[in-house]
Structure 1
Amino acid sequence: MAGSHYRVGIDLGTTNCVVSFLSKGESEPQLFSIPQFMPDGTVRNGTQLPSAVYLLAKDELGKIEPVLPWRNQAMDVIVGHGALELGQRRSGQLVQSAKSWLSHRQVDRKQAILPWGSEEGARKISPLQASAYLLTHIKQAWDHAHPDAPLASQDVALTLPASFDEEARALTLEAAKMAGLEKLYLLEEPQAACYHFIRNPDNLKSLEQANMLLVVDIGGGTTDFSLVRIQHTDQDKTALKRVAVGDHLLLGGDNLDQALAYQLDPRQISSLSASRLAALVQQTRKAKETLLSDDAPDSTTLTVLGGGSRLIGGSQKFTVSRDMLLEQVESGFLPFVSLEDTLQKSTYAVHTLGLPYEHDAAFSRHLASFIARHKTDIEQANGTCMPDAVLFNGGLFNSPKLKQRVLEQLNQWSESPLVVCDASEPNDAVAKGAAWYLKSLAGEAERIESGVPHNLLLQLADGSFIGLLPKGHLKEEAVSLSQVFKLKMGEQVQFPLYRSDDHMEVASGQIISANDGLHFVSNLVTELDGVNGLAEVDVTLSATMTEVGVLQVSLKAQGQSDQWTLQFGVSSQNDANDSTEKQDDHLHPNMGQAEEHLVKCFSAPGQKADPELVKSLKQDLDRILGDRDEWNLATNRRLADKLLAVKSGRGKSAQHERQWLQLVGYCLRPGYGALGDEARVEQTLNATKQGPKFDVAPVWGQHWTLYRRIAGGLTEAMQSNLYKQFAQYYSPAGQRSREKQKALTTKSSDDMIRMVGALERLPMEQKLESIDWLMRRLKKSSEPDTAWWTVGRVASRQLLVGDDQHKVPQKDALKLVESALKEDWKKRKLAGLASVLMVQPSSDNDSKELLALRNKVQVKLKKDKCPVLWVTRLDTSAEYSDEEMSRLVGETLPIGLSLR
């Protein structure tokens, strides 16, 4: 950069930011000390800037004046150490982990959603703005210290996780521009750590006997694995080439801090608000560092202050033992595993604080998975299945115990001990390496060759995919696709961007029909205008991974000078292809507030503070999240997770239990279709298998309704257990038992009967048995027609979730239809619906008897003026649409979830 005097590396960390600089001509990067405002009015300098932003409340403005040595700073925002201290005193105003939020695909990262869980009406900012605040603070501090060399005029490298997808990279660059840093380079953190290591010629020489370097970078919030090929040239030089990058893992030291907090008292911790939990995590982080240090004490005591929290008034004390922490590390986070071990659910309940942390908290299993996926690359370089050198980086490795634990695991997998590349500066290596990287760009130091980390593809209108940039493609090398696209002018154009698994080889311009191994990243969109008023235009597409480190995709009109750049964003059109994965997986922006509301309603402290809150829970959630029929799949499942976390609070009253059951069933319906549903269903069954605490019909009604709603996720064994509960009351023995029939009066019998209709995986013997019992009851004129609904569902010719083997034999269904035709469908309308379900077209070969009955059913439907949908259902063998399922069986699906 012309006129620059310094090369500056910025590590924009999840937990801390570090800045390093290198004067032209100097050989050793230095750390920059950053002034930070403290709550007592003083200014503290430090080489670490905590990645924390505190938003002053209205009543704090004027009382707290964050005066710093430079002018034009924001007077309503505090960044760094002072933000952390204020955030522990007062809840709902501290923003942390901005970098992790910037990569969170389930939220709109440009929308004001942070602090997550802050109260209604509180001031909020976006993840993008939070990142910009951190970078603005760094820029202003630098400019104050270097008035003759402003940061915007220097060579600057800003680091990010190697696994950041293309949209997260673009957002990071946008945050830098908001801070006034228009020209900079983006550098992957593992590469920066490598640059820091190889800046020392002796370190580079130590790699002469190695062929493949594994970089293990575990910071506060993310984990990055990279493989760097070590190539030995004829001139006795060592060249490095990055050949593989792992998936983006939202897993780091913060997870250990959170799990440690949870282990203190799971029931009490689950009732903490997000902001109180964040304050406790600050304490457990300090405890972790103390207990994992040399000469650590046997235990330490934590105190979480209660000031500023409506939920819990007094302070709380917790004792953390060193043995408990070590056991947790060794069994939960760094267990010794085999190289063939697969990822699984952790036994530890890792709290998310709004972020989608990894389900498996074991770093070692993620590392094994990464090595296994890149076995071919490793064998080609090294002749074995393991790298022969390792470089550790990130704050987790401040603890020699943890570093040694990971090294022991690697050496267990390897035939010979790995060469350890130890730079001994886990907190500062990335920032210093970023400054050194800028020397390499100027040709003054060794450079690590790297390119596009994954194959990138675009989805076309017909659902196929076209290769855009192949893995390893070098920066600044443009690719132009030979295909010509015909696009309409004046409309928004959208290309969904995907990346592929690393085992796939995808060339630029290659067409792929299947989406196996492809993962959605984001939409690339632009508005087409110009081109001399043409209605359509033929365009070609070109792509480049710029030297800055972001993807640039352009459209060029053939025979014209017009050109458009595609931007990351969400299409304004309701594209048919743009379904679940791309639009309906976003959490509602007020989800954090909704989660806090559930905590207040179902935690002991919240119930003590506001025992009547449950009465307005439904209306409150609809106000916070909008009409529940519009809640998408991600929002529903996130609410289900929070409800399961506070399940102990449902026993406060019958109304609490009824509302909890109703909400869980609604949010978890139909029991399958989303990642983690199997575990959610199992947790729900464990929580409810003893039956309701309050033996009243409204609670039992929601109990059975819950099971009906999640029946699609229940195994045959689970469904059989529910059937046995039904049989207690409706078997001949149950019907003869005065005790059972007396008990049935509070059990909401209609809802129990409807629940049986959803148990499609029941053994055939139990299905036919239940039909027999219900048909006997339907002979009584006093019996409501609910049982007909269940008979129809059980004997339906199209099952919603069961296989054909679960269908009731056609001959049995026909007998039931004959009985239903004898009913008056004006009085017993559900007998008509049952008939529709039992004679509707399906994949079976319809017999003459079934066709004849179908005609009879159609005639009677019209005669008795039954719903038109029932009649039309008999004209098609197509699978149920979402709307049909809703109207036929009385249950909607969450938006974003398809039935099949």
Structure 2
Amino acid sequence: MTKGAYRVGIDLGTTNCVVSYLAPDASEPLLLSMPQFMADASVQAFDYLPSAIYLLADDEQGKIDPVLPWHNSQDKDYIVGVGALALGQRRAGQLVQSAKSWLSHRQVDRRAGILPWGSELKNKISPLKASELLLQHIRRSWNQQFADAPLEQQQVALTLPASFDEEARALTLEAAKNAGLNELYLLEEPQAACYHYISDDQKRADLADKKMLLVVDIGGGTSDFSLVSILPSTKKNHIALKRIAVGEHLLLGGDNLDQALAFQLDPKQISALSASRLATLVQQTRRAKETLLSDNAPESLSITVLGGGSRLIGGAQKFDVSREALLEQVSSGFFPIVALDDAVHKSSYAMHTLGLAYESDPAFTRHLADFICQHQADIQQATHSSMPDAVLFNGGLFNSALLKSQLRKQLNTWTDQPILECLAEAPNEAVAKGAAWYLKALAGEGHRIESGVPHSLYLKLTEQQFVCILPKGTLTAETLSLSRDFMVTLGEEVQFPLFRADDHIISKLGEVRDESGLHYISTLATELDAQQDSAEVLVNVAAQMTDVGVLQLELLSAGSSDKWRLDFSTQASEESVNRQNEGLLAAKMGEAEEHLARCYSSAGQKQSPDLVKSLKQDLDQLLGARDDWSLATSRRVVDKLLVLKSGRLKSAQHERQWLQLLGYCLRPGYGAEGDEDRVQQVINLTKAGTQFDSSAVWGQYWTLYRRVAGGLSLDQQRTLFKQFSQFYSPSGQRSREKMKALASRSSDDLIRLVGALEALPLSEKQTLVEWLLKRLTKSSEPDTAWWTLGRIASRRLLSGEASDRLPESDLPVILDRALKEDWKKRKQAGLAAVLMCQISVMETDLLSDYRKKVSKKLIKDKCPSQWASRLDSQVEISSEELNSLVGESLPIGLRLSSD
């Protein structure tokens, strides 16, 4: 790696970027002053660069000329930094923020133009491009000031969250390379903060008698927790430090407090704001938060929300922001005093108000408790207690003495031993300055913190075989060779799906295990050169985490001197694309959320009362064909609809569309994280029935519950059966009042609903069969009852267990009736017979005999050929066949279980 005269540390922050450098023979790092184009067309320099990019719209081209000292013609389309924030106040839909958080967001295509999220701007940029533009501005600022020492020729350390996985690290490196920084080191932010702290002799001495340092790094968008072991050193005035644990990636930071403060203003109106408008408002509440949490703070502040854009808040409005309410949010929501064994709260879904999937539990203290509990063995071994004996607070959140005091109070409740608080001045600068000190330590001129792989890494071999290539703690640049050999094919793309292990798993090099406790990261992919096509060779695998901070594999031929290097690639392979299909949000998901807000928010309904009429077509245009929506996209629509629940009361059409879309996107009621809570919210919102008593609305109500029936508990399914019984029991059929009410209740959809209640007790299923067979004696009874009988008596349940099936002894009476029907006229009777006779586990000759009768009648009545195929098939129901069974396919990524 090229070594220049300067050692440069770059803190690529969620909210702000800071650059520090050590000049030759300098004793302290200095901060780089960066020129920035301002909203008034002036240029001013600051020692920080807001991580904000303003994209110029077509009508601004030529009117705004963002001229900077380096006069680059390519910079005409955007503005970076302080001026971007100011211009974004006027046009929120053109402002890109939190690029680092987006770069680690696994549910979006980070190479796609999706930012600003939710904006209808034509020239959007990707999270990767946004990170590149920030680094490019930093490089040009440096080169303008140090023309004789270009940044690309200096030693550079770029910091990132310790919890970034290998793919996010690789994307960060790619962004740096695209910005002209081809060679640099990656350094974890908590380690950088440590390097800054131990650069001071006195502070280093304070740690000499301590055993373990807890680093709590809370910035604008993320929280990082790390544990650093402290050992005595043989060198005078030295201590030995080793990073031994890293927490999970938490999308939780100061931004969450800013948003919570924004929602003080007017929750109904704020929830209706577009993501870009909310981002603008949050800029103002951020400044209010900093004022209200400072010393001698006022009791309240007034802030002004400007109109513009979709004008969901109308013209300019003033709001009072209360200090008392903010302190209550801090003490009860974000920094509550909790027990060390308190579990992190898992709610239905995380907050998505700015497009990012923030943690569902906003309590920093519970996440910290969880981290400490996970690593009790390491802590106990070092300190002989349950807590570290030193703590270092870092990150912009701790500019507030009040927040630091609250967290210090929490730590003291978890131990009766004194904890050394490591006081670091200027937390906004610590990471950048620490990165510069790190480069000095690399040259042997300072104290080095030993660190290794934060999580054990595995490669997938077969469907349930995963081999450990780097155990947790493996030191950087240490090459480990696996003792076993592997076969690879030359001349073709070689793919190695990469996984990481949970921290509680004790991993050994070369150990092979199943997928439990492992989490997919991405796929290593390359084509290995070969002298002949598709040659298979025996190789040994060696792996290391490079000095730069990315994974590297080397394949060594067992029979020759050939070797191939396999660098971690963020390019999507076929397998990674397939795996991510179920997890990626549609590129225009943000615009779809804004469209839903316009349709279902009170302000939006005033402006566009007829928008609901075209809602289905509009969403299909934004998100693509509905049958192709990913699981992530479907559930994100559900989350937005639940937030906008009150908007369904506007009209019968609003409620019908809300119920229809909710049921479609939540089907089958399970399969995604948080579905249990989502279904419970739906039940809580709709348990009183519909607000509008029309057949069309009730039809979507029953359809919603049919679609999510697989996610309902036994008690919830029984409650629905009771609703059916009040109309279709003998007493209900005799009641004029019930029959009158049924006229507007979409009876066909109600009957179809009970066919999906596969968990019902046997007695209730038998009662249902009895009632429906009696109804089918009437020629006027629609086919729907046969559809329901087929579902409830099927030998292959869609979501229930084999033990939930009707016994075979109950089937003849239904089958005999079905065989008497004319399947040309009553097609659903034929389908019901197929479902009841298809091959199933532990069936008897009784069903075999009926299957022959059904097969003959299928031919005689010219039924669809796939019905006959289903009779003898031993495989699970395909998505195409499912269309015939429930009228629609499941979301991408879900698979039905077989008996």
When normalised by structure 1's length, the TM-score is 0.96
Paired with 1:889 and 1:351, the residues of 2 have a C-alpha distance of: 31
| TM-superposition CA deviations, 1:394-440 (whole Å, max 9, x none) | 11111111111111111111131211111132111101111111110
1:468 is matched with 469
Paired with 1:579 and 1:12, the residues of 2 have a C-alpha distance of: 28
Are the equivalent residues in 1 in contact too, given 2:491–2:532 (CA < 8 A)? no
Change (3 A) 1:153 1:719: same
Paired with 1:317 and 1:21, the residues of 2 have a C-alpha distance of: 43
Are the equivalent residues in 2 in contact too, given 1:34–1:48 (CA < 8 A)? yes
1:721 is matched with 719
Are the equivalent residues in 1 in contact too, given 2:214–2:225 (CA < 8 A)? yes
Are the equivalent residues in 1 in contact too, given 2:109–2:584 (CA < 8 A)? yes
Are the equivalent residues in 1 in contact too, given 2:350–2:359 (CA < 8 A)? no
Paired with 2:317 and 2:346, the residues of 1 have a C-alpha distance of: 30
Are the equivalent residues in 2 in contact too, given 1:22–1:28 (CA < 8 A)? yes
| TM-superposition CA deviations, 1:12-54 (whole Å, max 9, x none) | 0001111111112122112222221111112232222110011
Partner of 1:460, secondary structure, is strand
2:623 is matched with 625
Question: CA shift at 1:611, angstroms?
Answer: 2.5
Q: Which piece of structure 1 moves more, 732-741 or 137-146?
A: 732-741
Change (3 A) 1:266 1:728: farther
Change (3 A) 1:727 1:800: same
Paired with 1:272 and 1:729, the residues of 2 have a C-alpha distance of: 43
Q: Which piece of structure 1 moves more, 69-78 or 79-88?
A: 69-78
Partner of 1:660, secondary structure, is helix
| Alignment of 1:866 onto 2:875 | no
Are the equivalent residues in 2 in contact too, given 1:54–1:86 (CA < 8 A)? yes
| TM-superposition CA deviations, 1:509-532 (whole Å, max 9, x none) | 2222x1111111111111344424
Change (3 A) 1:595 1:631: same
Paired with 1:345 and 1:461, the residues of 2 have a C-alpha distance of: 32
Paired with 2:794 and 2:552, the residues of 1 have a C-alpha distance of: 53
> Structure 2 matches for 1:495-894, cutoff 5 A?
495-512=496-513, 514-533=514-533, 535-557=535-557, 559=560, 561=562, 563-569=564-570, 571-573=572-574, 575=575, 581-843=579-841, 845-894=842-891
Partner of 1:240, secondary structure, is strand
| TM-superposition CA deviations, 1:300-338 (whole Å, max 9, x none) | 222211124354431233322112111111111111111
Paired with 2:882 and 2:414, the residues of 1 have a C-alpha distance of: 52
> Structure 2 matches for 1:125-274, cutoff 5 A?
125-234=125-234, 237-274=238-275
Question: CA shift at 1:148, angstroms?
Answer: 1.9
Are the equivalent residues in 2 in contact too, given 1:222–1:252 (CA < 8 A)? yes
1:54 is matched with 54
Partner of 1:45, secondary structure, is strand
Q: Which piece of structure 1 moves more, 792-801 or 530-539?
A: 530-539
Paired with 1:634 and 1:285, the residues of 2 have a C-alpha distance of: 30
Paired with 1:124 and 1:366, the residues of 2 have a C-alpha distance of: 34
Are the equivalent residues in 2 in contact too, given 1:526–1:564 (CA < 8 A)? no
| TM-superposition CA deviations, 1:711-758 (whole Å, max 9, x none) | 111112222222222222212222122222122222111111101111
Change (3 A) 1:715 1:316: farther
Q: Which piece of structure 1 moves more, 240-249 or 27-36?
A: 27-36
| Alignment of 1:12 onto 2:12 | yes
The correspondence for 1:898, drawn from 891, 895, 899, is: 895
Question: CA shift at 1:495, angstroms?
Answer: 0.9
Are the equivalent residues in 2 in contact too, given 1:259–1:348 (CA < 8 A)? no
| TM-superposition CA deviations, 1:636-656 (whole Å, max 9, x none) | 111111121222222222222
Are the equivalent residues in 2 in contact too, given 1:54–1:84 (CA < 8 A)? yes
Paired with 1:234 and 1:34, the residues of 2 have a C-alpha distance of: 42
1:278 is matched with 279
2:331 is matched with 330
Q: What is the identity, as a one-letter code, of the residue corresponding to 2:392?
A: L
Aligned residues: 894
| TM-superposition CA deviations, 1:467-490 (whole Å, max 9, x none) | 111111112222333444433444
Question: CA shift at 1:443, angstroms?
Answer: 0.8
| Alignment of 1:313 onto 2:314 | yes
Are the equivalent residues in 2 in contact too, given 1:594–1:625 (CA < 8 A)? yes
Change (3 A) 1:529 1:880: same
1:80 is matched with 81
Q: What is the identity, as a one-letter code, of the residue corresponding to 1:681?
A: V
Are the equivalent residues in 2 in contact too, given 1:259–1:349 (CA < 8 A)? no
| TM-superposition CA deviations, 1:842-887 (whole Å, max 9, x none) | 33x3234333323322222232222233223232444434443333
Are the equivalent residues in 1 in contact too, given 2:171–2:570 (CA < 8 A)? no
Partner of 1:100, secondary structure, is helix
Paired with 1:72 and 1:555, the residues of 2 have a C-alpha distance of: 44
Partner of 2:847, secondary structure, is helix
Q: What is the identity, as a one-letter code, of the residue corresponding to 2:725?
A: A
Q: What is the identity, as a one-letter code, of the residue corresponding to 2:583?
A: D
| Alignment of 1:292 onto 2:293 | yes
When normalised by structure 2's length, the TM-score is 0.96
Partner of 1:169, secondary structure, is helix
Question: CA shift at 1:462, angstroms?
Answer: 4.6
Question: CA shift at 1:126, angstroms?
Answer: 0.8
Partner of 1:746, secondary structure, is coil
1:361 is matched with 362
Are the equivalent residues in 1 in contact too, given 2:347–2:674 (CA < 8 A)? no
Are the equivalent residues in 1 in contact too, given 2:596–2:641 (CA < 8 A)? yes
Structure 1 unmatched runs, 5+? none
Question: CA shift at 1:463, angstroms?
Answer: 3.7
Are the equivalent residues in 1 in contact too, given 2:103–2:168 (CA < 8 A)? yes
Paired with 1:291 and 1:732, the residues of 2 have a C-alpha distance of: 66
Q: Which piece of structure 1 moves more, 608-617 or 422-431?
A: 608-617
Superposed CA RMSD: 2.1
Q: What is the identity, as a one-letter code, of the residue corresponding to 1:337?
A: V
Change (3 A) 1:95 1:330: same
Question: CA shift at 1:581, angstroms?
Answer: 4.5
Paired with 2:353 and 2:369, the residues of 1 have a C-alpha distance of: 24
Q: What is the identity, as a one-letter code, of the residue corresponding to 2:195?
A: Y
Q: What is the identity, as a one-letter code, of the residue corresponding to 1:467?
A: C
| TM-superposition CA deviations, 1:220-244 (whole Å, max 9, x none) | 1111000000011355641100001
Partner of 1:444, secondary structure, is coil
Partner of 2:428, secondary structure, is coil
| TM-superposition CA deviations, 1:58-80 (whole Å, max 9, x none) | 10111111122222160111111
Question: CA shift at 1:359, angstroms?
Answer: 1.6
| Alignment of 1:111 onto 2:112 | yes
Q: What is the identity, as a one-letter code, of the residue corresponding to 2:738?
A: K
Q: What is the identity, as a one-letter code, of the residue corresponding to 1:525?
A: A
Question: CA shift at 1:184, angstroms?
Answer: 1.3
Paired with 1:2 and 1:493, the residues of 2 have a C-alpha distance of: 32
Paired with 1:774 and 1:476, the residues of 2 have a C-alpha distance of: 71
Are the equivalent residues in 2 in contact too, given 1:753–1:790 (CA < 8 A)? yes
